[in-house]
Amino acid sequence: MEIDYQLSDDVREKIEAEANKYPSRRAAVKSALRYAQQEHGWVSEGVVNAVAELLSLQSIQVFEVATFYDMFYTKPVGRHRIRVCTNVSCMLRGSTDVLNHLKEKLGVEVGETTADGKVALFEAECLGACGGAPMLICNNRYVENLTPEGVDQLLSELD
Amino acid sequence: MLKVEINGQQFEAEPGSTIIEVADNAGIYIPRFCYHEKLSVAANCRMCLVEVERAPKPLPACATPVTDGMVVQTLSDIAKQAQADTMEFLLINHPLDCPICDQGGECPLQDQAMGFGGSSSVFEEVKRSVDNVDIGPLITTEMTRCIHCTRCVRFGEEVAGVMELGAIGRGEDMKISTFLGTSMDSEVSGNVIDLCPVGALTSKPYRFTARTWELNGHKGISPHDCLGSNLEIQEIGGVVKRVLPRDNEAVNECWLSDRDRYSYESVNSSDRLTMPLVRRGENYQEIEWAEALDLVSSKLMQIKETWSGKEIGAIASPTASLEEFFLLQKILRALGSSNVDHRLRQQDFRDDLAAPVCPGTDVSISKLQELDGVLIVGSNIRKELPLISLRLRRVAQQGGEIAVLNPMSFDHNFATTQEMIVKPSMMAIAFASIARKIAMATGKEDLLPIDLVELATRHEFGINVDAIANSLIRNGTDALILLGQIGMNHPDASTLRQITSWLGVNCGIRIAILPDANGVAGWVAGCVPHRLPGGHSNSSPGLNCKKMIDQRLKAYVLYGVEVSNDYSDPVALDTALNEAEFVVSFSTFRSAVPEQADVVLPLAAFTEIDAGYINCEGVAQFANAAVNPMGQSRPGWKILRVLGNFLKLAGFDHVSSKDIIAELEEVYDLSAPISVRYKPDLQAINHVVTQSAEVKNGKQLDRIIDVPVYSVDPTVRRATALQSTKDADTVALLACAEELEELGFKHGGQIAVRSETGEVMLPVQPDERVPRGAVYVPAGLSETSVLGSLSVVMVQAME
Ligand code: SF4
Ligand code: FES
Ligand code: FES
């Protein structure tokens, strides 16, 4: 397990800028983890330690936040993260089919990453886009009014 | 004052207080889990719901401030229903495994489920279960039982100053854990056991060894540091099972350090001495008490008659009790010797005659957290006095300034505003510089002793000195200078004590000159060569422990002293014992007896004696024997008393330990406040110590001498759980990377440390907390005992 991780200067700078916005450095944990994850792909033990050190916190304080939000990944994940909303509106509009289609296409279960490390599949709770149900979020992009074809289209666009 | 009605009764309340506080003061119990008066309010368990008039829903009593005219019902149907419902929720995921839970019988969850819960639950689904994490040798986890009150988390973050436990995950997946299963290494970690309202965190050494309702509790006092924490020693059938804190706001509050909590383990060890022993040739033989005492007394009389009583010296462990110190010195003095001392690690005795009756603090312990400024000189306070460190932490939290002058940058659990780290040989000079700045700023410069000025001007330290001085004398500052063990045992200790005291007398700063363990009692009882009991002056002073050993006496009485660990210069002590004609060792443990002992007298352990302790504030506290002495071991005061009879000395007819205290009280008022100021003594200010290591090979460096937290006395050194903690496992040389590079040290190698008495090879840990020109080599360990006590060593990197 990697314990030491070096945040890049760029990320450190961004985190500093965030930290300066608040009266306490602890308040910047979430933004710090976001930048660090963008760079590293996931929140490893090393990332937690590095963020903790930068913000003068104990590692567990950072880890609490990293495990609270499910868009922080404390295990390695695929380059692309697809999160299918399975909450009520989406469910009524067929999210189960969408999810099953994805599982079959990718050959993974929910929470898993494809063998080539390309795509990770997750379920999500309501993402506030019920008007476009069923929907998913791929990395940072909302994809709405899903059909099996739409899903295939999306997958083919991923590099 | 606000008027509040609770359950129909009228109460007055401070604005800002909460319902639970008002109710607690009035003796009205409201159930609770997450609320604890020493912790912040989290209000996450909801067990304290009460009905408040005009509030639409029940409110949490722990988080609801009272308002004028508020009407509260804690026993109404609405309140009771709310509490019962909360209880039902809390038990949804709780395993209800009370029959196999150590907390059973003293469990708030159990009690409150009985008192406030229902008899059944509508929940029929599957309970969650949580994997346990191994968080070290002191605490067992059973995380399925956790109700997420977060008391343990808040304790770490708020009180201990290291957040080791946290709440990870969320919702139903939330669990309490350390970061990725690391261990809890804080020196006060055991307190989370007391705080945890369920059986999720329990004591590991105690696990499954007793049921709480079978235990009998006795009042104890911790002998391991000069705070004198109040203990609840619990036993069954004469076997000590565990130690808990007794609440005493003026001393330990509701906390205990891990050292105080777990040291009892050694008391039950098979290493205990249970019979007097006598040496016959190479071997030891068990003998009867009468025979042993007869032997000791005739040997001592013979030495007194052949040479003189002055050929007998007694050195006592600073953990001995007031009664033991008193009788020990009484015997020695009756034999015509004042060679009696308990300051085993002290090296500089120049200021003995200038000393007050005893060292200690001139601020009461319970007021420490109210200070505005503190300067810590020569102390790893967090490990030396863990609970005092917690109070200092509050100083820092409330905006007070804490400055440090130390030979290395120890990890504190509070924020420091200034840290001045100088190598050991510069300590006195640095302190003198600070003192001079304080004197200048307070207009007392003219009063400064010239030697102190000379000392202060030997080196220019820069602005740090001004900043430290300022933090102590700013307008209206209530400041303290605290001199700890590293300072007290420094080769220039007299200088450090003189400076401290000078500042106390002249600059209105409070001072704390802290002794080791029960050292205050040692002074008060006259277990020092230059003073009689009660601090009265002694017209025929004896030898301090260093001189006793350097002068090679004919007979030594070792009282609870383990040669290779407890005395500052084990090599010298060993040689002295080799040459002595007679050595008697009073010891609790077989393995602590030196091979030179002619007679070995088994001492009862601290849990087995009625014993007086005087803490650093000068408060005498008395412990009761919790159990009978193991085997034929006996309380020290009884052995000494009977030895007095065997020696046919007058005044040894005490029937109980109280008689001894009464005798002491004839010459000293134990209830009187202490003064800890030293008389000015110019000689003692002279900074005389320039030590040099008289060996070749290597580079001469200052040695930072400190005794690790779990090596302080024979009892602690044998407590198995404590010995498995991280704090106990480093026998290594610490030095900064730059120094190591200059020494030519290559990663993975070892370093040879030499003094004129010996050499050790030590593994190395690069550590930037150590300044240039110094290495940290722990003392109090047999591994490093050959190095003796000099604070300079020759250091050489080896392949
Ligand atoms: S482990 Fe105990 S103290 Fe900590 S949150 Fe759980 S129940 Fe509370
Ligand atoms: S339920 Fe899917 S976005 Fe709201
Ligand atoms: S005690 Fe009030 S909510 Fe826990």
Predicted pLDDT of residue B690: 66
User: Which strands, in side-by-side order, build the sheet including B239-245?
Assistant: B216-221, B230-236, B239-245
Ligand nearest to the CA of B202: 1
d(CA B301, CA A17) in angstroms, rounded, equals 80
Those residues with Cβ within 8 angstroms of residue B270's Cβ, 6 or more apart along the chain or in another chain: none
Ligand nearest to the CA of B49: 3
CB-based contact B168 A58, cutoff 8 Å: no
Joined tokens for residue B595: 């091979």
Any atom of ligand 1 within 6 Å of the Cβ of B203:
no
Mutate to test the pocket of ligand 3, among B19, B35, B74 (most ligand atoms within 8 A of CB): B35
Contact residues, chain B, for A68 at CB < 8 Å: 168-170
Question: Hey, whose CA ends up nearest to atom 2 of ligand 1?
Answer: B196
> What string of DSSP letters covers B108-132?
HHHHHHHHHS-S--S--SPPP----
d(CA B720, CA B138) in angstroms, rounded, equals 10
Contact residues, chain B, for A63 at CB < 8 Å: 166, 168, 179-180
Predicted pLDDT of residue B695: 72
Question: What number of CA atoms fall less than 13 Å from residue B791's CA on the CB side?
Answer: 25
CB-based contact B179 A67, cutoff 8 Å: no
Any atom of ligand 1 within 6 Å of the Cβ of B198:
yes
Ligand 3 center–CA B109 separation, angstroms: 13
Contact residues, chain A, for B169 at CB < 8 Å: 67-68
d(CA A35, CA A44) in angstroms, rounded, equals 13
CB-based contact A60 B169, cutoff 8 Å: no
Predicted pLDDT of residue B693: 67
DSSP 8-state symbol, B391: H
Pairing of strands B792-798, B758-766: unpaired
Average pLDDT per consecutive 10 residues, chain A (159 residues; last block may be shorter): 83 96 96 95 95 95 95 93 96 95 96 94 95 94 93 92
Any atom of ligand 2 within 6 Å of the Cβ of A154:
no
- Contact between A96 and A85 (Cβ < 8 Å): no
CB-based contact A67 B169, cutoff 8 Å: yes
Predicted pLDDT of residue B523: 98
Predicted pLDDT of residue B730: 75
Mutate to test the pocket of ligand 3, among B45, B151, B154 (most ligand atoms within 8 A of CB): B45
d(CA B613, CA B515) in angstroms, rounded, equals 13
CB-based contact B164 A58, cutoff 8 Å: yes
Q: Under an 8 Å CB criterion, which residues of A touch B?
A: 45, 48, 58-61, 63-64, 67-68
Ligand nearest to the CA of B199: 1
Which of B130, B162, B164, B168 has the most A C-beta neighbours within 10 Å, making it the best mutation to test the interface with A? B168
CB-based contact B168 A61, cutoff 8 Å: no
Ligand nearest to the CA of B174: 1
Question: What number of CA atoms fall less than 13 Å from residue B307's CA on the CB side?
Answer: 14
Q: Which residues line ligand 3 (CB under 6 A)?
A: B 32-35, 43-48, 60, 62
- Contact between B522 and B528 (Cβ < 8 Å): yes
Ligand 1 center–CA A3 separation, angstroms: 28
> Smallest CA–CA separation between B401 and chain A, in Å?
19
Ligand 3 center–CA B156 separation, angstroms: 19
> Smallest CA–CA separation between B176 and chain A, in Å?
10
State the virtual CA torsion across B486, B487, B493, B498 in degrees, nearest 10. Answer: -170
**Sign of torsion over alpha carbons B599, B604, B609, B611:** positive
> Smallest CA–CA separation between B160 and chain A, in Å?
13
Ligand 3 atom nearest residue B49's Cα? 2
CB-based contact A64 B167, cutoff 8 Å: yes
How many CB atoms lie under 10 A from the CB of residue A42? 17
Ligand 1 center–CA B131 separation, angstroms: 14
Contact residues, chain B, for A58 at CB < 8 Å: 162-164, 179
- Contact between B192 and B254 (Cβ < 8 Å): no
* ipTM score: 0.89
CB-based contact B169 A68, cutoff 8 Å: yes
Predicted pLDDT of residue A59: 95
d(CA B214, CA B206) in angstroms, rounded, equals 14
Any atom of ligand 2 within 6 Å of the Cβ of A57:
no
Predicted pLDDT of residue B689: 64
Which residue from A71, A69, A89, A91 is spatially nearest to A81, judged by alpha carbons?
A71
Mutate to test the pocket of ligand 3, among B18, B34, B153 (most ligand atoms within 8 A of CB): B34
Contact residues, chain B, for A59 at CB < 8 Å: 179
> What angle do the packed helices B657-665 and B636-646 form, to 10 degrees?
80
Predicted pLDDT of residue B553: 97
Ligand 3 center–CA B36 separation, angstroms: 9
CB-based contact A67 B168, cutoff 8 Å: yes
B26 exposed, middle or buried (CB, 10 Å; 0-12, 13-18, 19+)? middle
Could you identify the residue written with the tokens 């071991």?
B633
Whether the CB of B158 is below 8 Å from some CB of chain A: the reply is no
B289 exposed, middle or buried (CB, 10 Å; 0-12, 13-18, 19+)? middle
Which of B180, B192, B413 has the most A C-beta neighbours within 10 Å, making it the best mutation to test the interface with A? B180
CA nearest to A73 within chain B: B169
Average pLDDT per consecutive 10 residues, chain B (799 residues; last block may be shorter): 96 96 97 97 96 96 97 97 96 94 96 93 91 94 96 97 94 92 94 98 96 96 97 97 98 98 97 97 95 97 96 98 98 97 95 95 96 97 98 96 97 95 94 95 92 90 91 88 96 94 94 97 98 95 96 97 94 96 98 97 98 97 97 98 97 96 97 93 72 77 94 96 91 94 89 91 95 94 90 88
